[in-house]
Chain A
Amino acid sequence: MQIGVLALQGAFIEHRKMFEKLGVETFEIRNPSCLEKDMDGLVIPGGESTTMFKLLNDLGMVERIKTLIKNGLPVLGTCAGLILLANKVENYKRSFLKSMDIIALKNAYGRQLGSFKTFGEFDGVKKIPFIFIRAPYIKSVGSSVEILATHREKIVAAREKNILVTAFHPELANNTYIHEYFINIVTESKH
């Protein structure tokens, strides 16, 4: 199994370390040629969504990534990754990859003073660490989207077919559950 981690900006090394702990190989995606490698899953990490999209655009990677996702490539988007994948970002002037039927709210918990850590239930599993850093949440989801986690009635993790998103940062936590969950999606998709 080979997971490509988008490495344009943000916390991509942290994701690679999580997969390393689980014995899964990863590689960094920094330019269009990296997208042609054998890839079983894609991670869009936390960072600044506007920066990442600007780089995707300038480096000519947007259409290829959209096509890969549309064709069923499993993708995990965390925080900024969630914003990039959303069909719509309600409080921002534009949306980005428009791959997932969700409406996201950017910086939904305010500025850095609003960042927080808590524990929550993810797909019925209790006590998963939720680390929110200037995080978004999901305001609403389409009918094909499964809600996997909420925090104070706001949706903070969801799945639509091959796409898994979290508003929090599993890559910063001392818990590999979300990454294992994603690996299962990748394994399913290979059968």
Chain B
Amino acid sequence: MNNERYELNKELAQMLKGGVIMDVTNSDQAKIAEEAGACAVMALERIPADIRASGGISRMSDPKLIKEIQEAVSIPVMAKVRIGHFVEAQILEALEIDYIDESEVLSPADDIYHIDKTKFNVPFVCGAKNLGEALRRIEEGAAMIRTKGEPGTGDVIQAVVHMRKIMGEMRNIQSLREDELFEKAKQLQVQVDLLKYVKENGKLPVVNFAAGGVATPADAALMMQLGAEGVFVGSGIFKSGNPKKRAKAIVQAVTNYDDPKLLAKLSEDLGEAMVGINEDEIDLLMRQRGE
């Protein structure tokens, strides 16, 4: 990937800002998501809550499913590959996917190496729990970052922890002297140039979304107020009582995240939220996959 292509890929993420990216498992759900105002969809065979429930190895989706979803909607289509599985990524690139999510939601294919994302022309989004992780992924070529959260739980706590951590660490970088950045770069195992960017701009050099456990309009607005530039909603929509209404409400909540009166209206009568599980009730912590 040359530098110009990387810029274009970061710029596509800029176009997604202020939007909601929804997990969908078939073309009907993709259409519902588009109608509800999703700015992109994530095509996958099973949503994280079901991956948790059924266990086993979770892999890239069937290309047939991805093609059907690409046919069904005009908004960007993303899909997930296993951490380190560069051949799954090559396959998605061959399908002309709009964004690849190298995702801890799927079973990792490599416990040391992430994909060298600079070798691809399609853009990648990666998860991060803290600033070091985010910048390491950017160094590897990620054009967009999202919090990891704890997918498939309907529990927003980890997304909150990760977003606060990343934002807090960036404020800390801004308070450092320039000559202190070198030591910080060593600690975080990243290039000092990336830290210089953070110090100057107070933000990541790519767009940063929230993901993992977002289930309500209030959750989405919370993440936006904490500094997210947009929101991924996975299991939260199609595991709820009234997906259409909830999807639409979350889309509006992300736009008007600081308008409590409107949020109150949006939160009304949405039917049952996804049941959700507490993280101490689960055995598998997906966020620990891939540092």
* A residues apposed to B, CB below 8 Å: 7-14, 30-31, 46-48, 50-51, 54-55, 58-59, 79-80, 92, 106-107, 110-113, 115-117, 131, 133-134, 169, 172
Contacts and interface: CB of A to CB of B under 8 A. Distances in A.
B37 interface: yes
Nearest to B257: A30
A113 B121 contact: yes
Contact of A48 (B35, B39, B254): B39
B18 A47 contact: yes
Interface string B3-14: 010011101101
Contact of B18 (A8, A79, A116): A8
Interface of B: 4, 7-9, 11-12, 14-19, 34-40, 70, 74-77, 93, 96-99, 121-123, 248, 251-252, 254-256, 259, 262
B88 to A, nearest CB: 17
Contacts of B9: 112, 115
Contact of B252 (A59, A112, A117): A59
A92 B254 CA distance: 26
B99 A112 contact: yes
- Ranked nearest first, the 3 interchain pairs of A and B with the lowest CB-CB distance are A54-B37, A9-B18, A48-B39
A137 to B, nearest CB: 15
A51 B9 CA distance: 20
22 contacts: A8-B18, A9-B255, A10-B18, A14-B14, A30-B255, A46-B15, A47-B15, A47-B17, A48-B19, A48-B39, A48-B76, A50-B37, A54-B36, A55-B255, A106-B74, A111-B70, A111-B76, A112-B9, A112-B96, A113-B93, A131-B11, A134-B76
A115 B12 contact: yes
Given A48-B39, A55-B252, A112-B99, A117 B15 contact: no
A75 B16 CA distance: 22
Contacts of A113: 93, 96, 121-122
B12 A134 contact: yes
B277 to A, nearest CB: 30
A33 B165 CA distance: 35
Contacts of A172: 11, 14
A146 B254 CA distance: 37
Given A8-B18, A59-B255, 4 more contacts: A10-B19, A11-B17, A14-B14, A55-B37
B39 A51 contact: yes
A117 B2 CA distance: 12
A110 B95 CA distance: 12
A120 B196 CA distance: 33
Q: Which of B19, B34, B70, B74 has the most CB of A within 10 A?
A: B74
Given A9-B17, A51-B251, A133 B38 contact: no
Contact of A116 (B8, B36, B39, B123): B8
A112 B122 contact: yes
A110 B122 CA distance: 13
Given A48-B15, A55-B252, A133-B11, A117 B39 contact: no
Q: Which of A106, A116, A133 has the most CB of B within 10 A?
A: A133
